[in-house]
Amino acid sequence: MFFLVFTSLFVAGCDENQPTNQVQRFGSVTGLKPDKLEYYKELHANSWPSVLKTIWKCNIQNYSIYLQQIGDDYYLFSYFEYTGDDFEADMERMANDPDTLRWWEETDSCQLPLEEDGIWTTIEEVFQTD
Amino acid sequence: MFFLVFTSLFVAGCDENQPTNQVQRFGSVTGLKPDKLEYYKELHANSWPSVLKTIWKCNIQNYSIYLQQIGDDYYLFSYFEYTGDDFEADMERMANDPDTLRWWEETDSCQLPLEEDGIWTTIEEVFQTD
């Protein structure tokens, strides 16, 4: 349930026949189990092509994940851009893709969410410039 | 000295007459003093136009900063793209701009760096897809 936490950010009122042509940027954070560091990196260095294809088909682009130790803990910070016009529907579509579900089984077991509701926590944007 | 920590990431061998046309993505993190939360947000909601112009002139684009509380502490995560062909020279140019230096005086006093060497710590990229 990788993206489930983001669904609350759906922009109500979008008409799927009327693309907004506007990029929505998302920063998010989650924890990473110290004993899963290498496995998580190895997984992402060899991302499954079908999962990448689904990300692209669901209008997610320019997607990066960064890893940082802070104190004794490890955190993943991600940034991506959503270019579609119905985020909720696209995330549902992603969550119904069998390969993506299998991928999330691998990644979910590595992560230590900051909150109970979803794996990734969406972060407040305080600055943005093109 | 906002970007000083990034200079070690300069790609040696770039010829400034031969643009690489390649985007370099940077994720970074720093801490934020709890009593400076509102001031930092207010500053960035009203970013100085000349500072934004210098960022743009120094080939930094698509630049976002996010704020997240983790435990009792506050962290800033940033993402930006560098589109030039001499990162070190561009960062030096930025660090010589008087308005940018005044801006950094404001922001530096808000931040709690994770390391001694620079305000922002560059984060390891573990995944990227266009």
Q: State the smallest CA–CA distance between residue B73 and chain A in angstroms.
A: 11
pTM, rounded to two decimals: 0.85
Q: What is the pLDDT of residues B67-81, one digit of tens each?
A: 999 999 999 999 999
Copy the structure tokens of residue A31: 């924890």
| B42 touches A: beta carbon within 8 Å | no
- pLDDT for A20 equals 53
Whether the Cβ atoms of residue A24 and residue A82 lie closer than 8 Å to each other: yes
Nearest-Cα residue of chain A relative to residue B64: A128
Whether the Cβ atoms of residue B90 and residue B2 lie closer than 8 Å to each other: no
| B11 touches A: beta carbon within 8 Å | no
The set of residues, in sequence order, having a beta carbon less than 8 Å from that of B107 and lying 6+ positions away, is B2, B40, B43, B119
Whether the Cβ atoms of residue A44 and residue B127 lie closer than 8 Å to each other: yes
The residue to which tokens 């998580």 are assigned: A40
Residues on chain A touching B67 (C-beta within 8 angstroms): 123-124, 126
The residue to which tokens 């660090």 are assigned: B95
Cβ distance A124 to B67 less than 8 Å, yes or no, reads yes
The answer for B 70-129 residues in CB contact with A (under 8 A) is 70, 75-77, 79, 114, 121, 123-129
Mutate to test the interface with A, among B6, B41, B77 (most CBs of A within 10 A): B77
The residues pairing with B67 across neighbouring beta strands, listed in sequence order, are: A124, B76
Rounded CA-CA distance A113/A118 in Å is 7
Cβ-based neighbour number of residue A28 at 10 Å? 23
Amino acid at A117: D
Q: A75 by DSSP, 3-state: which?
A: strand
Residues on chain A touching B25 (C-beta within 8 angstroms): 64
Secondary element (H or E) of residue B121? strand B121-122
The residue length of chain B stands at 130
Of A47, A56, A66, the CB nearest to B124: A66
- pLDDT for A16 equals 44
Of B64, B79, B126, the CB nearest to A40: B126
Q: How many CB pairs under 8 A join A and B?
A: 97
Q: What is the pLDDT along chain A (130 residues), one digit of tens a residue?
A: 454 444 333 333 334 444 556 899 999 999 999 999 999 999 999 999 999 999 999 999 999 999 999 999 999 999 999 999 999 999 999 999 999 999 999 999 999 999 988 899 999 999 999 9
Rounded CA-CA distance B54/B95 in Å is 10
Q: What is the CATH number of domain B23-122?
A: 3.30.70.1090
Whether the Cβ atoms of residue B109 and residue B119 lie closer than 8 Å to each other: no
- pLDDT for B87 equals 96
Q: What is the pLDDT of residues B1-60, one digit of tens each?
A: 454 444 333 333 334 444 556 899 999 999 999 999 999 999 999 999 999 999 999 999
B42-68 burial, b if ≥16 CB within 10 A, otherwise e?
ebbeeeeeebbebbeebbbebbbbbbb
- pLDDT for A11 equals 35
Whether the Cβ atoms of residue A76 and residue A32 lie closer than 8 Å to each other: yes
Correct CATH for A22-122 of 3.40.50.460, 3.40.718.10, 3.30.70.1090, 3.30.420.40: 3.30.70.1090
Q: State the smallest CA–CA distance between residue B91 and chain A in angstroms.
A: 17
- Model confidence at B119: pLDDT above 90: yes
E strand segments, B23-117: 24-32, 60-70, 73-82, 111-112
- pLDDT for B22 equals 86
- pLDDT for A2 equals 52
Cβ distance B65 to A126 less than 8 Å, yes or no, reads yes
Copy the structure tokens of residue A61: 């682009």
Whether the Cβ atoms of residue A110 and residue A32 lie closer than 8 Å to each other: yes
- pLDDT for A88 equals 95
Q: State the smallest CA–CA distance between residue A41 and chain B in angstroms.
A: 6
Mutate to test the interface with A, among B74, B127, B128 (most CBs of A within 10 A): B127
Whether the Cβ atoms of residue B81 and residue B55 lie closer than 8 Å to each other: no
Cβ distance A68 to B129 less than 8 Å, yes or no, reads no
User: Taking Cα atoms as reference points, which of B94, B101, B115 lies closest to residue B30?
Assistant: B115
